[in-house]
Structure 1
């Protein structure tokens, strides 16, 4: 009886440990750099990308965020300990409060690649994938980067 209680408790811990941030789809999305190199292959494709907001701008009928993309971590958030994987622009329809998305704010989004536009990063031309936002997940407060999670492993084995 005691063994079965431990087994049930252990299974519950494992299931909780496998959970991601609520609602983030598990899509194997191409990196923004990959999309910028061959945009015609990705137009209309749904992506899940994460990154850090560089700048946000309200326009007449939309809000545009320039985002420095990072690979996603085990929770579905941007892993800023890894090298960036390019930039993209996320477009939200209508007015979005850019104060809620200041420079440095980490986010993950689900969206659709609409096109690739040439813009500027400093004096250099840059091909920005344009992603229409369907859903956003905000991470740590502005200026706070989540530390990497320490993982604990459980194993059963023996040594000779």
Structure 2
């Protein structure tokens, strides 16, 4: 009887579904280039974009983020090693803390395209999509919580002696 219950529990656990990752790119998500090429047909379209925060501005009626867009990894994190598709602006109804949403921070946002805005960078005017913020995920820095410098030669705390190892403990 115990064996039957054990097998039944394994069978039922194998049928369980994982919850969907809201930050995972979906096939129906439109790209930044799609919006820039045909802005009228993509107004109010839902988006899942990510990138690096360039600027944040808080006003009494809300906040504005300027983001340099990058492609997303399968888990939704911006891939800064890829080439950028351009910039987009995100508007929020509430306050966004400048310490959390600091420049050079990776972010992934969901929302909808509301308009095309013209911004000036140096002396160049760019057309960028304006996104109304629904959700945002700020990605933490890798190894930001380490007290000691991390030895990038290995991923193990102790790699031993030899070519790959340092012979020291480096957590």
Q: Same fold by TM-score, threshold 0.5 exceeded?
A: yes
Query: By how many angstroms is 1:62 displaced?
Result: 1.1
Q: Distance in 2 between matches of 1:143 and 1:41?
A: 42
| 1:33-44 map, 5 Å | 33-44=33-44
The higher radius of gyration belongs to 2
**Structure 1 residues 57, 142: closer, same or farther in 2, change over 3 A?**
farther
Q: Distance in 1 between matches of 2:60 and 2:73?
A: 35
Query: By how many angstroms is 1:25 displaced?
Result: 5.3
Count of residue correspondences: 133
CA RMSD of aligned residues (A): 2.7
Query: By how many angstroms is 1:94 displaced?
Result: 2.2
* Correspondence for 1:155: none
Unaligned runs of 5+ in 1: 145-160
Query: By how many angstroms is 1:64 displaced?
Result: 0.4
Normalising by structure 2, we get a TM-score of 0.68
Counterpart contact for 1:91–1:133, Cα < 8 Å? yes
* Correspondence for 1:27: 26
Q: Which has the higher contact order (CA 8 A, sep 6+)?
A: 1
Unaligned runs of 5+ in 2: 145-171
**Structure 1 residues 143, 55: closer, same or farther in 2, change over 3 A?**
farther
**Structure richer in helix, relative to its length:** 1
| 1:4-15 map, 5 Å | none
**Structure 1 residues 39, 143: closer, same or farther in 2, change over 3 A?**
farther
